[in-house]
């Protein structure tokens, strides 16, 4: 009996393996923890709050939310009285894996700062899957994160969206079918990095010229591709297929609308210019990142359907981050009758563990600025809005029947600094449980201080 | 037009109310965390001529101005022990940085570089920080640079305690062994200990001393450096050493014992591994309680529960932050520490009286009779970073809580019919 089982599993593994394209996700959830949470307080991530409500997760999906759900006997019952449940937190700006801990040269792989345009590099090819930061972020409720290359380059390369289920290959962590993204960067960083080497760009006008030149090349490449693909099979045999160009392949993916643009940009005037560049070449900017001055052009962002991924309060570390306003997130959120798309991001290994508190600070500042914003709405800033910006909202980012059961249970209202994550489920499988000590441990953490213990085991 | 007039009248009243320095103020019905007791009590604070004249549990206290805070939490103004306030305006802009010297090392003082008009001052003050210790950047030398204590009251007449702490570092450098750094540190200390008053009587005697000391001449010490080393021992000056690794902490404790140092260790991410030695030798620590990242091979034991463990061991702690500018986020760190087991009273002490005690900041850091009235009235729980002060008093004077940040906020949320550059 046992032998047969092993045989079957090998066969099925082989079949699956052959189905995957290169670099494609091989993600598999952990064993499902089919559960009914009784009497929970819920922020659903879509702007709603439900008090003393039950929620059932089964076979990886959310299957019911409502009062006094019966729930089959086969379900694990979790008494969530007095607890809060939210969707899994999503960080749209992380460098986990590409700037892992410890922060050392040998694994600092986030910036291919050798040329101002490196659209050909993919962040996923830099990720160190044993980064101990993943597990720490999981204890902060983060179930999904989007890793970008750094901001040294005008066009830095492709980003990747991953499930926070630490495994020892990146393919087994990649979010299935999530669109690829492209990191672009405005302002001080590219002009400093390349200007210091006496090469272009050394000014902001050099930055803009750099993007435009790249997009012109991409347009040419795309039209050659389109031309070839439009040919009949016979005509194709008589002509050469355009040689693949990794850099232009990425840029053409943006022009085709397959790859989402995530643009590091602080200053309002520069963001407005980047919107013009996008119009000139007919591509869409999905989100501006950091965007310390987004509040100055909040209406423009809302009109163009561009999200702003922001810190609650970080400022002053460079000139373009000087005009910080704590209500930035709220102002973006409330633009054009509340049609703005605001995201609270971390870009930081500590911040990613406390995105709920960062959202809480941003909410409080918004209330002080005179806006009326509910906590349920503010929860969107770290759940559904980043899910939309990562192109995965149809699968996660809110607690809706049929969606992936990415669920966090908090000890108390998550808009408090005292709230602790008690349980995290990714695709309906328990990934972290505070009370039982069930949690992932990276290889790095094993036996490194005391051979008999994990790194922070007492 | 009418609206403008009322505004002018209001601002006039506000202005006059803040300049009556000689008058008395009563903060009534306050839930007081005084920085001394572990728990709070309901009380009333009388401020007279800049000082706390009376702290009473009965409401009979009288004053020229009575502010009923209706049970809100009142704390001493928080003191940030590790900042760049006043000497760095914009991090990546070297022309706004005054935290380094190319000439002086041990004796480098940042005191005269302090800019009381820095935007960081109103920003941190409006978030509850009433005073701070400003430190220069660490140098390559294991001991180098003096920090000063400043009141964050934005006065051109700077209220400070100059050069009250010496700093240094020990740990991985990436170039030479930490053993070399430790030896150098000991050589410097031993040279400092050998100095006596007549050695530093004049620049001529100092030059002689330097010439006759192999370590002083090797390090190319200047008169300022030597004087500071004399002060280190003569005045028992606090010495903050930034260090993380457990074995380094033990080496520092050995030096403390050998040279009778007033040692403070900053960082100390691996303190939990040598916690008994730290406790036994009374070494206060400045930690970042929210930092649980094993950010280097010196910090492998980083753990979110460090503050709670230090409390259990009876070790005096203070808090810093890992990112610049928002030094007030020591509150958020304290809140995270409480969420992970630190008691609330100890968290408040870490933000107030512990800093005053460790760094000999006299008459500040707690709400008690005779202290300067550095007092914050909070809209809600001060350890929730979403709550901010309603009122901030420094030396008994209520300060303004406007910041450049709130001005920019108002410019982009009010009066929107005008072009932005024509708004307030």
Q: Does A103 touch chain B (CB under 8 A)?
A: yes
Q: Are strands B262-267 and B238-243 parallel, antiparallel or unpaired?
A: parallel
Helix (H) or strand (E) holding B303: none
- How far off is chain A from B127, nearest CA to CA, in Å? 12
Residue of A98, A188, A176, A171 lying closest to A134 (CA atoms): A98
Task: Find chain A residues with C-beta within 8 A of B296's C-beta.
Answer: 102-104
CATH number of the CATH domain containing B102: 3.20.20.140
Q: Give the tens place of pLDDT for each residue, B308-350.
A: 999 999 999 999 999 899 999 999 999 999 999 999 999 999 9
Q: Give the tens place of pLDDT for each residue, A73-87.
A: 999 999 999 999 999
Nearest residue on chain A to B405, judged by CA atoms? A325
Nearest residue, CB atoms, B301 vs list A331, A357, A449: A449
Over residues A178-206, the mean pLDDT reads: 98
Taking each helix axis as running N to C, give the angle between helix B330-339 and helix B344-351, from 0 to 180 degrees, rounded to the nearest 10. 160
Interface of B with A in 260-289 (CB under 8 A): 272-273
Q: Which two structure tokens, joined as six digits, stand for B329?
A: 């986020």
User: So what's the pLDDT on residue B16?
Assistant: 39
Q: Give the tens place of pLDDT for each residue, A244-295.
A: 999 999 999 999 999 999 999 999 999 999 999 999 999 999 999 999 999 9
Task: Find chain A residues with C-beta within 8 A of B335's C-beta.
Answer: 357, 417-418
Q: Would the CB atoms of B409 and A295 count as touching at under 8 Å?
A: yes
Q: Which two structure tokens, joined as six digits, stand for A93?
A: 């700006």
Q: Would the CB atoms of A323 and B326 count as touching at under 8 Å?
A: no
Same domain as B93, residue B20: no
Residue A418 has pLDDT above 70, yes or no: yes
Residue % of chain B over a pLDDT of 70: 95
Burial of A17 (0-12, 13-18, 19+ CB in 10 A): exposed
| Least confident window among A89-98, A200-209, A218-227, B16-25 | B16-25
Q: Does B335 touch chain A (CB under 8 A)?
A: yes
Q: Give the tens place of pLDDT for each residue, B182-234.
A: 999 999 999 999 999 999 999 999 999 999 999 999 999 999 999 999 999 99
What is the rounded CA–CA span in Å between residue A412 and residue A415?
9
Q: What are the percentages of helix, strand and coil residues in chain B, rounded to 5?
A: 35, 25, 40
- How far off is chain A from B88, nearest CA to CA, in Å? 9
- Other Cβ atoms within 10 Å of A99 Cβ, number: 21
Q: Does A132 touch chain B (CB under 8 A)?
A: yes
Same domain as B333, residue B246: yes
Task: Find chain A residues with C-beta within 8 A of B332's C-beta.
Answer: 354, 357, 417
Task: Find chain A residues with C-beta within 8 A of B378's C-beta.
Answer: none
Q: Are strands A342-344 and B397-398 parallel, antiparallel or unpaired?
A: unpaired
DSSP 3-state of A102: coil
Same domain as B339, residue B392: no
Task: Find chain B residues with C-beta within 8 A of A94's C-beta.
Answer: none
- Only one residue has tokens 């000087």, namely A322
Rounded to the nearest angstrom, the gap between the alpha carbon of residue A384 and the centroid of all alpha carbons in its chain is: 11
What is the rounded CA–CA span in Å between residue B222 and residue B104?
7
User: So what's the pLDDT on residue A19?
Assistant: 58
- Tally the C-alpha atoms within 13 A of residue A268's C-alpha that lie toward its C-beta: 17
Q: Would the CB atoms of A102 and B296 count as touching at under 8 Å?
A: yes
Residue of A118, A201, A129 lying closest to A159 (CA atoms): A118
User: So what's the pLDDT on residue B59?
Assistant: 72
Q: Would the CB atoms of B405 and A325 count as touching at under 8 Å?
A: yes
Task: Find chain B residues with C-beta within 8 A of A103's C-beta.
Answer: 295-296
Q: Which two structure tokens, joined as six digits, stand for A51?
A: 């008090």
Q: Give the tens place of pLDDT for each residue, A165-188.
A: 999 999 999 999 999 999 999 999
Residue of A261, A304, A309, A249 lying closest to A286 (CA atoms): A261
Q: Does B343 touch chain A (CB under 8 A)?
A: no
Q: Would the CB atoms of B409 and A364 count as touching at under 8 Å?
A: no
User: Could you say which of B347, B364, B381 is where a domain stops?
Assistant: B364
Same domain as B381, residue B358: no
Interface probe with A: pick from B115, B123, B126, B300, most Cβ of A within 10 Å = B300
User: So what's the pLDDT on residue A20?
Assistant: 63
Give the count of domains, chain B: 2
User: So what's the pLDDT on residue B6?
Assistant: 40
pLDDT bracket for residue B22 (50, 70, 90): low
The answer to whether B286 and B318 are in contact (CB under 8 A) is yes
Residue of B313, B247, B305 lying closest to B275 (CA atoms): B313
Q: Does A136 touch chain B (CB under 8 A)?
A: yes
Q: Would the CB atoms of B412 and A325 count as touching at under 8 Å?
A: yes
Interface probe with B: pick from A95, A102, A191, most Cβ of B within 10 Å = A102
Same domain as B15, residue B99: no
Q: Which two structure tokens, joined as six digits, stand for A400?
A: 């809706």
Over residues B7-31, the mean pLDDT reads: 61
Q: Does B325 touch chain A (CB under 8 A)?
A: yes
Nearest residue, CB atoms, B92 vs list A101, A317, A448: A317
Same domain as B413, residue B358: no
Angle at alpha carbon of residue A113, lines to A182 and A172, rounded to 5°: 50
B69 conformational bin, left if phi > 0, alpha if psi -120 to 50, beta if neither: alpha
Task: Find chain A residues with C-beta within 8 A of B339's C-beta.
Answer: 417-420
What is the rounded CA–CA span in Å between residue A264 and residue A150?
9
The answer to whether B392 and A370 are in contact (CB under 8 A) is no
Q: Give the tens place of pLDDT for each residue, A343-389.
A: 999 999 999 999 999 999 999 999 999 999 999 999 999 999 999 99
- Other Cβ atoms within 10 Å of A458 Cβ, number: 8
What is the rounded CA–CA span in Å between residue A48 and residue A56?
17
User: So what's the pLDDT on residue A3?
Assistant: 44
Over residues B380-384, the mean pLDDT reads: 98
Interface probe with A: pick from B294, B301, B389, most Cβ of A within 10 Å = B294
- Only one residue has tokens 């973006």, namely A332
Nearest residue, CB atoms, A350 vs list B93, B293, B326: B293
Residue A300 has pLDDT above 60, yes or no: yes
- How far off is chain B from A230, nearest CA to CA, in Å? 50
Same domain as B140, residue B1: no
Q: Rounded mean pLDDT of chain B?
A: 94
CA dihedral for B185, B186, B190, B193, sign (positive or negative): positive
Interface probe with A: pick from B83, B91, B92, most Cβ of A within 10 Å = B92
Residue B14 has pLDDT above 80, yes or no: no
- How far off is chain B from A321, nearest CA to CA, in Å? 9
Q: Which two structure tokens, joined as six digits, stand for B383?
A: 């350890």
pLDDT bracket for residue B9 (50, 70, 90): very low
Residues in chain B: 424
Nearest residue on chain A to B245, judged by CA atoms? A449
Q: Rounded mean pLDDT of chain A?
A: 95
Same domain as B31, residue B19: yes
DSSP for residue B290: T
| Least confident window among A197-206, B138-147, B159-168 | B138-147
CATH 3.20.20.140 fits A88-402, yes or no: yes
Same domain as B180, residue B248: yes
Q: Would the CB atoms of A316 and B338 count as touching at under 8 Å?
A: no
Over residues A16-39, the mean pLDDT reads: 87
Interface probe with B: pick from A138, A325, A448, most Cβ of B within 10 Å = A325
CATH number of the CATH domain containing B418: 2.30.40.10
Nearest residue, CB atoms, A455 vs list B120, B300, B336: B300
What is the rounded CA–CA span in Å between residue B111 and residue B102?
16
Residue % of chain A over a pLDDT of 90: 94
Nearest residue on chain B to A321, judged by CA atoms? B90
- How far off is chain A from B190, nearest CA to CA, in Å? 33
What is the rounded CA–CA span in Å between residue A56 and residue A73?
12
Outline where DSSP puts E strands in A95-231: 142-147, 155-163, 181-185
Q: Does A205 touch chain B (CB under 8 A)?
A: no
Nearest residue on chain A to B335, judged by CA atoms? A417
Q: Does A290 touch chain B (CB under 8 A)?
A: no
Q: Would the CB atoms of A448 and B300 count as touching at under 8 Å?
A: yes
What is the rounded CA–CA span in Å between residue A143 and residue A382?
11
Q: Which two structure tokens, joined as six digits, stand for A447?
A: 């036996």
- Say what the alpha-carbon torsion angle A377, A381, A385, A389 is, to the nearest 10 degrees: 170
- How far off is chain B from A337, nearest CA to CA, in Å? 14
DSSP for residue A117: B
Q: Does A300 touch chain B (CB under 8 A)?
A: no
pLDDT bracket for residue B174 (50, 70, 90): confident
Q: Does A4 touch chain B (CB under 8 A)?
A: no
User: So what's the pLDDT on residue B230?
Assistant: 98
User: Could you say which of B364, B389, B411 is where a domain stops?
Assistant: B364
What is the rounded CA–CA span in Å between residue A441 and residue A90?
21
Outline where DSSP puts E strands in B331-410: 375-378, 389-394, 397-398
Residue B58 has pLDDT above 90, yes or no: no
Q: Would the CB atoms of B91 and A317 count as touching at under 8 Å?
A: yes
Interface probe with B: pick from A128, A140, A188, A313, most Cβ of B within 10 Å = A313
Interface of B with A in 120-179 (CB under 8 A): 120
User: So what's the pLDDT on residue A91?
Assistant: 98
Q: Which domain holds residue B54?
A: 1-77+366-424
User: So what's the pLDDT on residue B119?
Assistant: 98
Helix (H) or strand (E) holding B300: none
pLDDT bracket for residue A71 (50, 70, 90): confident
DSSP for residue B363: T
User: So what's the pLDDT on residue B78?
Assistant: 98
Q: Does B84 touch chain A (CB under 8 A)?
A: no
Residue B11 has pLDDT above 60, yes or no: no
- Give the pTM: 0.94
Same domain as B404, residue B349: no
Same domain as B218, residue B154: yes
pLDDT bracket for residue B7 (50, 70, 90): very low
Nearest residue, CB atoms, A101 vs list B119, B294, B336: B294
Q: Give the tens place of pLDDT for each residue, B78-127.
A: 999 999 999 999 999 999 999 999 999 999 999 999 999 999 999 999 99
Interface of B with A in 387-406 (CB under 8 A): 387-388, 405-406
Same domain as B89, residue B73: no
User: So what's the pLDDT on residue B4?
Assistant: 42
């Amino acid at each position: 009996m046992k032998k047969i089982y092993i045989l079957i599993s090998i066969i099925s593994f082989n079949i699956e393996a052959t189905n995957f394209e290169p670099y494609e996700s091989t993600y598999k959830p952990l064993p499902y923890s089919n559960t009914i949470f009784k009497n929970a307080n819920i922020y659903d991530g879509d702007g709603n709050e439900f008090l003393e409500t039950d929620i059932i997760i089964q076979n990886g999906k959310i299957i019911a939310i409502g009062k006094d759900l019966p729930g089959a006997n086969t379900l694990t019952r979790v008494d969530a009285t007095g607890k809060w449940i939210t969707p899994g937190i999503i960080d749209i700006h992380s460098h986990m894996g590409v700037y892992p801990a410890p922060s050392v040269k040998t694994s600092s792989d986030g910036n291919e700062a050798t040329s101002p345009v490196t659209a050909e590099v993919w962040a996923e090819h830099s990720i160190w899957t044993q980064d101990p930061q993943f597990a720490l972020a999981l204890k902060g409720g983060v179930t999904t994160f989007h890793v970008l290359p750094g901001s040294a380059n005008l066009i830095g390369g492709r980003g990747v969206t991953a499930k926070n289920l630490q495994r020892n290959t990146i393919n087994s962590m990649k979010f299935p079918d999530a669109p690829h993204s492209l990191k672009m960067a405005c302002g001080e960083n590219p002009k400093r990095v390349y200007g210091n080497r006496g090469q272009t760009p050394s000014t902001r006008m050099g930055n803009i010229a750099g993007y435009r030149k790249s997009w012109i090349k991409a347009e040419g490449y795309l039209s050659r591709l389109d031309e070839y693909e439009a040919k009949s099979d016979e005509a194709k045999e008589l002509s050469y297929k355009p040689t693949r160009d990794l850099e232009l392949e990425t840029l053409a993916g943006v022009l085709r609308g397959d790859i989402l643009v995530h643009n590091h940009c602080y200053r309002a005037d520069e963001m407005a210019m980047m919107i013009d560049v996008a119009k000139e070449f007919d591509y869409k900017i999905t989100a501006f990142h950091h965007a310390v001055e987004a509040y100055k052009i909040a209406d423009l962002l809302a009109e163009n359907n561009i999200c702003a991924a922001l810190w609650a309060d970080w400022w002053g570390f460079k000139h373009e981050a000087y005009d910080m306003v704590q209500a930035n997130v709220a102002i973006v959120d409330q633009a054009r009758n509340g049609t703005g798309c605001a995201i609270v991001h971390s870009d930081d290994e500590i911040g990613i563990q406390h995105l709920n508190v960062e959202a809480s600070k941003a909410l409080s500042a918004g209330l002080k600025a005179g806006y009326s914003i509910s906590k349920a709405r503010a929860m969107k800033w770290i759940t559904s809005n980043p899910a939309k910006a990562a192109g995965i909202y149809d699968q996660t980012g809110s607690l809706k029947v049929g969606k992936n059961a990415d669920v966090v249970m908090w000890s108390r209202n998550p808009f408090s600094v005292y709230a602790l994550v008690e349980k995290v489920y990714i695709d309906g499988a328990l990934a972290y449980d505070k009370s039982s000590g069930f949690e992932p441990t990276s290889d790095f953490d094993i036996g490194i201080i005391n051979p008999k213990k994990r790194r922070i085991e007492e | 037009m009418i609206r403008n007039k009322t505004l002018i009248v209001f601002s006039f009243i506000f202005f006059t109310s803040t300049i009556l320095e000689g008058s008395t103020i009563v903060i009534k019905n306050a839930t007081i965390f005084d920085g001394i007791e572990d728990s709070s009590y309901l009380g009333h604070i009388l401020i007279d001529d800049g000082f706390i004249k009376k702290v009473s549990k009965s409401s009979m206290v009288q004053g020229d101005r009575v502010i009923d805070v209706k049970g809100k939490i009142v704390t001493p103004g928080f003191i940030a022990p590790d900042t760049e306030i006043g000497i760095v305006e914009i991090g990546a802009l070297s022309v706004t940085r005054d935290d380094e010297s190319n000439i002086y090392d041990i004796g480098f003082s940042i005191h005269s570089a302090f800019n009381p008009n820095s935007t960081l001052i109103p920003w941190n003050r409006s978030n509850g920080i009433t005073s701070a210790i400003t430190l220069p950047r660490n140098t390559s030398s294991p001991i180098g640079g003096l920090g000063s204590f400043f009141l964050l009251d934005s006065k051109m007449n700077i209220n400070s305690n100059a050069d009250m702490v010496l700093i240094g570092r020990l740990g991985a450098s990436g170039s030479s062994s930490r053993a070399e750094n430790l030896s150098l540190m000991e050589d410097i200390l031993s040279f400092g200990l050998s100095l006596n008053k007549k050695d530093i009587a004049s620049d001529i005697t100092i030059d002689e001393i330097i010439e006759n000391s192999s370590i002083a001449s090797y390090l190319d010490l200047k008169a300022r450096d030597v004087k500071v080393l004399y002060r280190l021992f003569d005045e028992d000056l606090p010495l903050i050493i930034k260090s993380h690794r457990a074995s380094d902490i033990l080496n520092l404790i050995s030096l403390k014992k050998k040279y009778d140092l007033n040692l403070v260790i900053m960082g100390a991410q691996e303190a939990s591994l040598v916690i008994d030695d730290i406790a036994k030798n009374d070494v206060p620590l400045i930690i970042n309680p929210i930092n649980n990242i094993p950010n280097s091979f010196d910090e492998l034991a980083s753990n979110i529960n460090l503050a709670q463990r230090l409390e259990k061991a009876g070790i005096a702690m203070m808090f810093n932050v890992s990112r610049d500018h928002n030094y007030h986020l020591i509150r958020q760190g304290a809140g995270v520490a409480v969420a992970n087991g630190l008691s609330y009273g100890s968290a408040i002490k870490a933000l107030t009286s512990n800093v005053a005690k460790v760094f000999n900041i006299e008459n500040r850091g707690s709400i008690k009779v005779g202290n300067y009235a550095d007092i914050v009235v909070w809209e809600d729980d001060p350890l929730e970073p979403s709550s901010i002060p309603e009122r901030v008093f420094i030396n008994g004077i209520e300060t303004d809580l406007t910041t450049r940040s709130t001005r920019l906020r108002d410019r982009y949320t009010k009066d929107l019919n005008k072009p932005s550059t024509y708004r307030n």
